[in-house]
Amino acid sequence: MFKLFIAALFIFNFSTSFAKASEDPDLYWMKVKAKDKFARSLIANTGIAIEHVNDNYVMGMGTKSELDAVKKTGRLETSFKLSEQMLDFPAKDEKFHNYTELLAELNSLAANNPDIVALNSIGQSHENRQILHLTISTDLAQSDLKPGIVFMGGHHAREHVSIEMPLMLAQYLVREYRNQNAEVVNLLESRQIHLIPMVNPDGAEHDISSGRYKTWRKNRRLNADGNYGVDLNRNYGFMWGTGGSSKSTRSDVYMGKAPFSEPETMAIKNFVEAQTNISILLSFHTFSELILYPWGHKYDSISDSRALSVHTTMANRMAQWNGYKPQQSSDLYVASGDTTDWSFGSQGIISFTFELDPKSMWSGGFYPGQNTIDIAFNKNIKPALYLMSYADNPYRVLESTHQAYGLNSPLVK
């Protein structure tokens, strides 16, 4: 009797997990010929998510109908269906933090350092997880009066390295402040530092929910037609839906039914708009090792020449430290509705997207293994401190005699 029950339970579990797996559309990996940004934008408009750009081709992922659309362009070189087994990453990745572990880390950081760290939620996801937010500064209660900067990660579910960056940055700042590192003490005394490590907690959890990676990108909105997910980095409300995003709910770059239709992007909007001291924003993504700045929705450069110079000067400087390639976002391909077009275009905030390590699909893509966490962090700590140092006035970087804020340390020079 007992055995029968176990067997029945097993069959039940098996059938439900099978049903669950099949609700996600099959994904195809594609290599597509494209020699310039115009050709790449043409490919982006089919609705596939471009994940790698080369001089001669792009690689990306999409559904069957997007694969058909790419075929129609006559540019498809190779494609294959991503099977469950191929998505199963063999390396031990226990260093990565899921939602519960991240919450525990942030909680303990705040609880052990109440003088300089506050943990809040800026809103809730579709599945009612908190969108966690740390504020780090001395004199916390008054720190809104200081210049502010915000770091974000985890817009895209499968980009787990991007979640580790803001977490490690927070831990670094606290540790070095306690060690009386003069530079970090200066920064915490004079800046208000915001970190939102996991903008898309539902997606991140979904990606790992079966014990094997699902290569999930979007959030977990249940769309009216039964398909899941909106691409949060196509849902921001500045020049939304003007290229490089899709109206198909099956697409990995589905823009949503309206700008800021998603609770996750709306939470960021409300937070940034209310936090009027923020002058610089950095959104971490993976992968490709790039430093990107607006615009993404069009090929034109930022028309305000000073704002453009701030972005290019900073991007070039940071590239010397992390070895990434600095470029305007649309030099890759046009994509509208992303975080940084909105934060710069509508809020005037100096804005960057980093596509973190690794460099390519061949070095691990979205799932490079846990050793990549430290590698990416060590490359990017100097750029992060550098941006913090200019939060009082990023335009200072244009002055010939400028110097980064109060910096005696060799970290930033």
**Taking the complex as a whole, how short is the minimal distance between the CB of residue 253 and Zn ion, in angstroms?**
10
* Residue span binding Zn ion (CB under 5 A) among the ranges 93-101, 106-114, 234-242, 277-285: 277-285
The interface region with Zn ion, picked from 110-118, 185-193, 282-290, 394-402 by CB under 5 A, is 282-290
User: Minimal distance in Å, beta carbon 353 to Zn ion?
Assistant: 8
Q: Is 218 in the site for Zn ion (CB under 5 A)?
A: no
Nearer to Zn ion, 255 or 307 (CB): 255
Residue in 269, 285, 317, 379 binding Zn ion, rule: CB under 5 A: 285
To the nearest whole angstrom, how small is the minimum distance from the Cβ of residue 13 to Zn ion? 32
In whole angstroms, give the CA distance from residue 231 to residue 401: 42
Q: Which two tokens stand for residue 346?
A: 């509508």
Q: Which is nearer to Zn ion, 191 or 285 (by Cβ)?
A: 285
CA 375 to CA 394: how far, in whole Å?
Answer: 27
Residue 311 as a binder of Zn ion (CB under 5 A): the answer is: no
**Residue 159 CB, nearest approach to Zn ion (Å):** 5
Nearer to Zn ion, 39 or 332 (CB): 332
Q: State in angstroms the smallest separation of the CB of 105 from Zn ion.
A: 22
- Determine the interface stretch with Zn ion among 159-167, 251-259, 301-309, 318-326 (rule: CB under 5 A): 159-167
Q: Indicate which residues carry an active-site annotation.
A: 355
Residue nearer to Zn ion on the CB measure, 146 or 285: 285
Token pair in block for residue 280: 């610089």
Total residues interacting with Zn ion, rule: CB under 5 A: 3
Please identify which residue in 156, 221, 250, 297 interacts with Zn ion, judged by CB under 5 A: 156
Q: Is 221 in the site for Zn ion (CB under 5 A)?
A: no
Q: Which is nearer to Zn ion, 177 or 324 (CB)?
A: 324
Assess contact for 187 and 193: CB atoms under 8 A: yes
Footprint on this chain of Zn ion (rule: CB under 5 A):
156, 159, 285
